[in-house]
Amino acid sequence: MSLRDGPFQDLKVPLRWTAAVAVVVAIIIGLALVFGDRRETLQGHAAVATRGAFDRMARPVGGVLSAPVRWVSDAVGGIGDYFFAVSENRRLKQEVADLRHWRDEAIAYRHENDRYEALLGLKTEPPIPMVGARVIADVRGPFAQTRLADAGVEDGVREGNPVMNEHGLVGRILGVANGVSRILLLTDVSSRTPVMIDRTDARAVLTGDGSGSPTLEYLRGANPIKAGDRVLTSGDGGLFPRGLPVGVAYQGLDGSWRVRLDSDDGPIDPVRILLFRDFSQLANQPALRATTIPPLAPADAAAVAAEANAGSSSPAASSAHPAVSSHPAVSPRPPVSSAHPVATVAASSAHPAHPDSSARHPPPPASSAHPVTHAATASASTPAGAAP
């Protein structure tokens, strides 16, 4: 007997009830989507692939829509340039005159800085390659503030890469696909960026809230900030390089510290994506370890060798400074000669588990307070033929 012939043959469920059931099912689907999504993390998952596929489809549409906008913007800019050419020319001449002084100072500082780096053997951060891109979609709502840029996987863009415009930090790459990548703006409610106050070196977390000016949270210390302080990325956590300009601090009406973003001063259209990864991955580690430390002058080397020899003749000398042997900075190299027993002891016992510690710890300056340390360092770092 079929249902049609049974006692339920005249049963008709009102459409309002079935619609209500459909609403309940749809709400369950919505909740499953909410709790299954991991937008804020950088780990790959199925939703990332879905977003990537959607962004790839949205790219041509966004490109077509943004092109006329760009043309109109360029045209309006051109008209403005025509009418304000004289005043702009005067302003630029004044600016060039001011900047010439700063250029000379910058050149002098750069030379001085290069000299200090060479003297101290500092391992500076390598330059970061960049990719230029154009924004083809801009989202400005309270729940999401993102942009689509027309550079993707084939350009080397990866999730987490910082994005800047000509004035300052814009955000970071949230997802990337072929030919397109999505930028999470600093103002997005899920954005958290480790920053520091340039004047006091105080650390904070820049937290987006969907407004144009993100807040500074977890500020520490007594009076760590005042209005007008410059805010830079701190580099903590390794997601951003240190020192990227973010903005200027001010106190909001609610008493919270906020940042007026530098990137708001420029057009939103062109951006630069920094192909930044953790510097420890970018740097050529074997090349860093192979760096040679310049030898001492002959007179200094002789004095150091004599000092070391004198130290080796007294057995107490090797145990006079127990702290020295455990100091990481005294063992830049394995021992090169058995003629310096103190150096051998210090160098071999300093960090048995980290023979390459020279890459991270430069040797101490020549005016070390511990003669044994000095001897150990000098003898271990001096090539055998350099000493007389």
Residues that bind other proteins (CB under 8 A): 15-16, 18-20, 22-23, 25-27, 29-37, 39-40, 47, 50-51, 54-55, 58, 61-62, 65-66, 69, 73, 135-144, 146-147, 174-175, 182, 184, 189-190, 207, 209-211, 264, 267-269
The whole-angstrom separation of Cα 122 and Cα 215 is 35
Nearest distance from C-beta of residue 102 to other proteins, angstroms: 28
The whole-angstrom separation of Cα 193 and Cα 277 is 16
Closest CB to other proteins among residues 199, 272: 272
Nearest distance from C-beta of residue 241 to other proteins, angstroms: 24
Amino acid (one-letter) located at 264:
D
Closest CB to other proteins among residues 80, 243: 80
Closest CB to other proteins among residues 174, 246: 174
Nearest distance from C-beta of residue 188 to other proteins, angstroms: 8
Closest CB to other proteins among residues 69, 290: 69
> What is the 3-class SS of 99-138, one letter each residue?
HHHHHHHHHHHHHHHHHHHHHHCCCCCCCCCEEEEEEEEE
Closest CB to other proteins among residues 103, 140: 140
The whole-angstrom separation of Cα 182 and Cα 145 is 10
Structure tokens at 357: 């510690």
The whole-angstrom separation of Cα 108 and Cα 114 is 10
Q: Which residues pair with 175 in a beta bridge?
A: 182
Nearest distance from C-beta of residue 240 to other proteins, angstroms: 19
Closest CB to other proteins among residues 146, 382: 146
Return contacts of 30-39, CB within 8 angstroms, 24+ apart: 39/174, 39/190
Nearest distance from C-beta of residue 232 to other proteins, angstroms: 23
Closest CB to other proteins among residues 139, 320: 139
DSSP 187-253: TSTT-EEEEEETTT--EEEEE--SSSSPEEES--SSS---TT-EEEE--GGGSS-TT-EEEEEEE-T
Spatial CB neighbours of 230, under 8 Å, sequence gap ≥ 6: 197, 198, 199, 245, 247, 248, 249
Nearest distance from C-beta of residue 263 to other proteins, angstroms: 12
The whole-angstrom separation of Cα 79 and Cα 154 is 37
Nearest distance from C-beta of residue 294 to other proteins, angstroms: 52
